């Protein structure tokens, strides 16, 4: 088996889970850390920012997985049309000096007889989970498999999928998984639009409308900075978005930093919270979120 060198510029690409697992077990037994960046591909600067953070770790081999995970898509979602740009993705990862890329297929990840899945806690039924039942069970299940197959010591997740990040943290704590999660702030375009693989579904006009989502969150943040209440902060986001009736709002919610309900918050003073939203623009569903400081 060829050694995986952290200075090589062409990543070693694994499609076989078994082969990946054998190689990463050897790397771990040599005393190196393994930093994993799980993705669904169609890579953009958001993903690459996670990769660069992983690359900063000392004594670590960096692995990126590219897998459009069927388990986390609902029956009416975009599994079939989700952008797949494997060659481009691997070229980008080579440029970043990534050591290993894992590109499994649904058949090798979920062979006949696959039965066991992760059952997330109650938070998985709220926010995104309210309209995407099974989404987080699918995401946590695939990541558990990826953690196990890559033998990773560290895994990097974007705050773009804030609820996923919190649920991942809950799982790592609850199940004592032996790895450290590293949250990475959202990367935005100059317009404020959070980078997303799904942005490529947007027409020029829809892209312009999509920039209003982050503007609405900034309006909410300003309301928080002005000392307004949780209800008023949410109201500020809604009234900003009211100007754009083409935006179909699914939810706007203010939660504490671990996504607990604000009604249950007992802290006083300045409390770090999260303002989260989901909306449809045309047929594209987008999510965004932002940290805000609530004064209580």
Residues marked active site are found at 47
Q: Which of residues 169-198 bind ligand AMP (CB under 6 A)?
A: 184, 186-187, 194-197
158: closest CA among 40, 260, 245, 58?
40
Range in contact with ligand AMP (rule: CB under 6 A) among 43-51, 145-153, 223-231, 270-278? 43-51
Q: How far apart are the first and last CA of the chain?
A: 59
Residue from 4, 23, 27, 40 touching ligand AMP (CB under 6 A): that is 40
Smallest gap from Cβ 248 to ligand AMP, in A, equals 21
Of the CA atoms within 13 Å of residue 53, those in its CB half-sphere come to 20
- Name the DSSP class of 75: T
Helix (H), strand (E), coil (C) string for 98-133:
CCEEECCCHHHHCCCCCCCCCCCCHHHHCCHHHHCC
> Contact 162/154 with Cβ under 8 angstroms?
no
Q: Which residue is nearest to ligand AMP (CB)?
A: 158
Determine if 47 is a binding residue for ligand AMP (CB under 6 A). Answer: yes
Query: Three-state DSSP class for 242?
Result: helix
Q: What is the Cα gyration radius of the chain?
A: 20
Range in contact with ligand AMP (rule: CB under 6 A) among 114-122, 152-160, 170-178, 248-256? 152-160
107: closest CA among 67, 64, 65?
67
Determine if 160 is a binding residue for ligand AMP (CB under 6 A). Answer: yes
Smallest gap from Cβ 26 to ligand AMP, in A, equals 26
Residue from 67, 136, 147, 157 touching ligand AMP (CB under 6 A): that is 157
Determine if 14 is a binding residue for ligand AMP (CB under 6 A). Answer: no
Q: Which residues in this chain contact ligand AMP in the complex, by CB under 6 A?
A: 39-40, 46-47, 49-50, 157-158, 160-161, 184, 186-187, 194-197
């Amino acid at each position: 088996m060829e050694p995986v060198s952290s200075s090589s510029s062409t990543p070693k690409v694994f499609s076989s889970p078994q082969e990946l697992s054998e190689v990463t077990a050897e790397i771990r037994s040599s005393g190196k850390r393994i930093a994993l960046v799980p993705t669904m591909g169609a890579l953009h600067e958001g993903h690459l920012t996670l990769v660069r953070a992983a690359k900063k770790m000392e004594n670590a081999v960096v692995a990126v997985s590219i897998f459009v995970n069927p388990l986390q898509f609902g029956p009416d979602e975009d599994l079939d049309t989700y952008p797949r740009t494997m060659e481009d993705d691997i070229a980008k990862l080579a440029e970043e000096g990534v050591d290993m890329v894992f590109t499994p297929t649904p058949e090798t990840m979920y062979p006949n007889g696959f039965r066991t899945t992760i059952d997330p806690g109650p938070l998985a039924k709220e926010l995104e989970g309210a309209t995407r039942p099974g989404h987080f069970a699918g995401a946590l299940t695939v990541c558990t498999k990826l953690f196990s197959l890559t033998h990773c010591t560290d895994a990097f997740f974007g705050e773009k999928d804030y609820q996923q990040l919190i649920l991942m943290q809950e799982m790592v704590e609850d199940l004592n998984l032996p790895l450290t999660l590293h949250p990475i702030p959202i990367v935005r375009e100059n317009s404020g639009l959070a980078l997303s693989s799904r942005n490529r579904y947007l027409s020029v006009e829809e892209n312009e409308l999509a920039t209003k989502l982050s503007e609405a969150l900034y309006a909410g943040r300003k309301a928080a900075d002005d000392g307004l209440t949780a209800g008023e902060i949410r109201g500020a986001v809604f009234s900003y978005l009211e100007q754009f009736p083409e935006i179909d709002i699914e939810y706007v919610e203010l939660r504490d930093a671990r996504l607990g309900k604000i009604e249950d918050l007992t802290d006083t003073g300045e409390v770090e919270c999260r303002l989260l939203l989901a909306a449809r623009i045309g047929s594209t569903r987008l999510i965004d979120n932002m940290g805000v400081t609530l004064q209580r």
